[in-house]
Homo-oligomer: A and B are copies of this chain.
Amino acid sequence: MSADSGTVEGVRQRNLSRLLRLVHRSGPLSRASLTEATGLNRSTIAGLVMELVTAGLVEERAPESSRRVGRPSPIVAAHPAVVAIAANPEVDAIEIAAVGLDQRLHARVRLPQSSVITPLRTAELIAEQITRWRSAELATADIVGIGLAVPGLVRAVDGLVREAPHLGWIDEPVRDLVAQATGMVTSVGNDASLGALAEHLYGAAVGIDDVVYLNGGASGIGGGLIVHGTPVGGVGGYAGEFGQNRPGIAASADQRAPDGVLEDEVSRGRLLEAVGLGQADDAELAEALDRATATAARDEVERQRRILATALSNAVNVLNPAVVVLGGFLAILAERDLPGLEAAVRAQSMPACGEDLRIVPAALAEDRLLIGAAEVVFTDLITNRLTDRLSSGLVLQG
């Protein structure tokens, strides 16, 4: 409301946002490159940067030796003290991290839990961890908000966790609980959607505006969409649930679960079973699959790849993405023969849709969920909460 988009003051807001977004996403940039990227005047850039510096959001550093003619341009970087707290509650543990506006991971802990974590306990643990960090790693930090990645359906409007089967949560007002416990602005999102966001911004799909992301975890298959460069939520914010789709299965012999959904057929559990493992992490699973000589194991891999290919084709036909990013055990399945999978998907898609398509494994490690959760906080800060940070520079008038 205060930053009317139609008014002249709004221009400055937008330009400040553009600048901050640039240095946040692209990393440290010289002032010269900022003028080039934005098309604004040198003096304008100088003023905008100064405002961001005084707001404590950005830092200017001595220029690097650029190996170029001319006066070196100072480097503008995100202020290292600005951080967001990201958290990811799981069945057996909760992971909490402090992610910097400069894309650095300032701190990170994994707090194992003896029993399944509750929403209230989640809020408590986050609050405790923040106070602990505040007197140590984050003593000088400027915490701008909290982002949660929850393995379940999250209603976008109010951060209510509708259902997190893995955690046993139903209709839990997680956002409000955490906000109350910490007194900080909090946002909650679906873990897979946040993974998609992270891969889009910093991972395997950087610069790609149309992305389909599927992640294979122990509990099933989740996913997220990027359309026009922005994450897709749908009305409720529940979009991306590829795992619940009913896949077309060409050969009926390939079907294991009658009337089952994708994650019943393409599952980590079935892969573990096929190689005779009880529990294993992704690396162990990949290795076991590499070693496996039994035809049963290989057949299971091929079966799952066939079904996955059809499921991906359906998504490709509808969304025509430039890139499909696969994470978790789906990446393992894919990487056993990436061109083969691409070919299989192309064969079942509209030819034109297949042309521009690339299938790639996820590039970010497990902290992609935390990065994505933090990113939501930063996006909110940059686009909506900038005005509040820009303290009164109006004294000059007197």
Contact = CB atoms under 8 A, between A and B. Distances in A.
B11 A246 contact: no
Contacts of A238: 320, 350, 352-353
Contacts of A353: 234, 236, 238-239, 241
A10 B14 CA distance: 12
A244 B210 contact: no
B210 A320 contact: no
A7 B18 CA distance: 12
A348 interface: yes
A131 interface: no
A187 interface: no
A315 interface: yes
A237 B320 CA distance: 7
Interface string A210-244: 10000000000001010110101111111111101
A322 interface: yes
Contact of A246 (B38, B310, B355): B310
Contacts of A38: 6
Contacts of A356: 235-236
Contacts of A239: 318-320, 353
Interface residues of A, number: 63
A228 B225 contact: no
Interface in A287-327: 310, 313-315, 317-322
Contact of A245 (B10, B318, B321): B318
Contacts of A350: 153, 238, 241, 244
B310 A235 contact: no
A318 B319 CA distance: 10
Question: Which residue among A238, A240, A349 has the maximum number of chain B CB atoms within 10 Å of its CB?
Answer: A238
Nearest to A10: B11
A356 B238 CA distance: 11
User: Which 3 A-B pairs rank lowest in CB-CB distance, beginning with the nearest?
Assistant: A234-B320, A246-B248, A239-B320
